[in-house]
Amino acid sequence: MIAIIDYDTGNTRNVKKAMDYLNIQNTLSADPAVIGNADGLILPGVGAFGKAVEALKQRQLIPVIKQAAKAGTPILGICLGMQLLFDRSFEFGETPGLGLIPGEVVAIPDDLGVKVPHMGWDQNQVTQTDPIANGFDQEATYFVHSYYVKTQPQYILAESDYGVKIPSIVRNQNVIGMQFHPEKSGRIGLNGLAAFKEVVTNGNYSRN
Amino acid sequence: MLAKRIIPCLDVDHGRVKKGVNFVHLTDVGDPVAIAAAYEKQGADELVFLDITATNEKRPAIVDTIEKVAAQVFMPLTVGGGIHTVADMQRLLKAGADKVAVNSQAVRDPSLISKGAEKFGAQCIVLAIDSKWDPAKQRYTVYVNGGRQATDLDVIEWAKQGVAAGAGELMVTSMDKDGTKSGFDIPLYQKLTVAVNVPIIASGGCGKLTDFNDVFKQTDVDAALAASVFHFGELTIPDVKAALKKDGVTVR
Give per-residue pLDDT as tens, B152-184. Answer: 999 999 999 999 999 999 999 999 999 999 999
> Tell me, what CATH number does A103's domain have?
3.40.50.880
Query: Is A207 part of a structural domain of the chain?
Result: no
Class of domain B5-246: alpha beta
Closest CA–CA distance from residue A116 to any residue of chain B (Å): 7
ipTM of the complex: 0.91
Closest Cβ opposite residue A185 in set B74, B123, B198: B74
Query: Is A63 part of a structural domain of the chain?
Result: yes
Catalytic residues of B: 11, 130
Does the distance separating the beta carbons of A120 and B222 come in below 8 Å?
yes
**Average pLDDT over all residues of chain A:** 94
Q: CA angle, B218 as apex, B229 and B212 as ends, to 5°?
A: 15
* Lowest mean per-residue pLDDT among A30-34, B122-126, B128-132, B162-166: B122-126
pLDDT at residue A113 in the model? 82
Closest Cβ opposite residue B123 in set A21, A119, A162: A119
Among candidate residues A145, A153, A156, the one with its CA nearest the CA of residue A107: A145
Residues β-bridged to residue B64: none
- The CA distance from A104 to A128, in Å, is 20
pLDDT per residue over B12-61, tens digit each? 998 999 876 766 666 677 899 999 999 999 999 999 999 988 766 666 88
Judged by CB atoms within 8 Å, which residues 125-164 of B form the interface with A?
none
pLDDT at residue A8 in the model? 77
pLDDT higher than 50, residue A134? yes
3-state secondary structure chain B: CECCEEEEEEEEECCEECCCCCCCCCCCCCCHHHHHHHHHHHCCCCEEEEECCCCHHHCHHHHHHHHHHHCCCCCCEEEECCCCCHHHHHHHHHHCCCEEEECHHHHHCCHHHHHHHHHHCHHHEEEEEEEEEECCCCEEEEEECCCCEEEEEEHHHHHHHHHHHCCCEEEEEECCCCCCCCCCCHHHHHHHHHHCCCCEEEECCCCCHHHHHHHHHHCCCCEEEECHHHHCCCCCHHHHHHHHHHCCCCCC
Residues β-bridged to residue B13: B16
pLDDT at residue A208 in the model? 40
pTM: 0.93
Closest Cβ opposite residue B74 in set A47, A140, A189: A189
The domains of chain B are located at 5-246
Closest CA–CA distance from residue A92 to any residue of chain B (Å): 14
CA distances from B234 to B22, B33, B240, B249 (A): 10, 21, 11, 21
Q: Does B108 touch chain A (CB under 8 A)?
A: no
Query: Is A37 part of a structural domain of the chain?
Result: yes
pLDDT higher than 80, residue A150? yes
Count of other CB atoms within 10 angstroms of residue A21: 16
Q: Does B76 touch chain A (CB under 8 A)?
A: yes
Among candidate residues A56, A58, A149, the one with its CA nearest the CA of residue A98: A56
Domain with A66, as residue range(s), is 2-202
Number of domains chain A contains: 1
Query: Is A176 part of a structural domain of the chain?
Result: yes
What would the mean pLDDT of B141-146 be, rounded to a whole number?
Answer: 95
Query: Is A208 part of a structural domain of the chain?
Result: no
**How many A×B Cβ pairs under 8 Å?**
82
Q: Provide the pLDDT confidence category of residue B121 given band limits of 50, 70 and 90.
A: confident
Query: Is A76 part of a structural domain of the chain?
Result: yes
- The CA distance from B107 to B225, in Å, is 22
Q: CA angle, B125 as apex, A82 and B205 as ends, to 5°?
A: 120
- The CA distance from B228 to B214, in Å, is 19
